[in-house]
Amino acid sequence: MKNNAHSRPRAPARHLPILAVLAASAALLAAGCGALPDKPSRATLYDFGPNLAAAAPASTNASALPPISLPEIDASMRLEGTQLLYRLGYADANELHPYGQARWSLAPAQLLHQRLRDALAMRRTVLGPEETATIARTEGRVPDTLRVSLDEFSHYFESPAKSVGLVRLRATLIRSGSGGDRVLAQRGFAVQRPAPSPDAAGGVKGLAAASDAAVAELVAWVDQVR
């Protein structure tokens, strides 16, 4: 019996450190489960809100106004994305900052294009590039083209407590003819509206109001020129 007792296999000594490491790792994993970071929260998406004016009946004189071609709005590379941008004018007005958890649903130029198209359509027929090309091909004429570029679209802080939505546009009205294109008129628009709060939500409201005001000024200018 004594010899049988001494003949029982024993765990090799070299395995003991491995077992200890595995046990410690399991303990650390169990303790750390509660400390795992939450999933990153999604950015809040913003737009200009419902365009109630577009639901109103078009003007009775809309058919009397000549049609206009409206291509997509051009924008700088920084404004091609959906980031909501702000400037600290009291610190360094040359630097653009993005809000971390706020985004536009579309690029600002696309949101502005929708607003401008709706506003023009209340008064006249608005044509896209394909429709304009069709008229040129079938009727041999080209409607005047309104080209717009977006130069500034930011939540501008004059001070930590005071800020505005700032929009700057440049519009060019072009007429095409047998001799080529010529510029009928060109004008810049700079509009700002107060932001009700010094955060992303306040900046959105200020920018939406400034955009609608800029669109109204632009449409009135087009009506006056043409």
DSSP codes, 43-83? PEEE-----GGGGSPPPTTGGGSPPEE--PPEE-GGGSS-E
- Beta bridge mates, 193: 165
**Domain total in the chain:** 1
- For residue 220, tell me if it sits in a domain: yes
What are the structure tokens assigned to 55, written together? 């639901």
Residue ranges making up the domain that contains 69: 61-225
DSSP β-bridge partners for residue 150: 75, 169
- Indicate whether 23 belongs to any domain: no
pLDDT at 30: 47
In a domain, 188, yes or no: yes
Burial class (CB in 10 A: 0-12, 13-18, 19+), 201: middle
Q: What is the pLDDT of residue 131?
A: 86
Looking at residue 3, its pLDDT comes to: 45
- pLDDT for 135 equals 82
CATH number of the domain that residue 198 is part of: 3.40.50.10610
Tell me, what amino acid is at 75? A
In a domain, 11, yes or no: no
Is 116 within a domain? yes
Per-residue pLDDT tens over the stretch 127-158: 998 888 888 778 777 899 999 999 999 999 99
Say if 192 falls within a structural domain. yes
Domain annotation covers residue 134: yes
Q: Which parts of the chain sit beneath pLDDT 50? A: 1-16, 19-22, 24, 28-34
Nearest to 133 by CA among 123, 143, 124, 125: 143
d(CA 161, CA 222): 37
User: In this structure, is residue 51 part of a structural domain?
Assistant: no
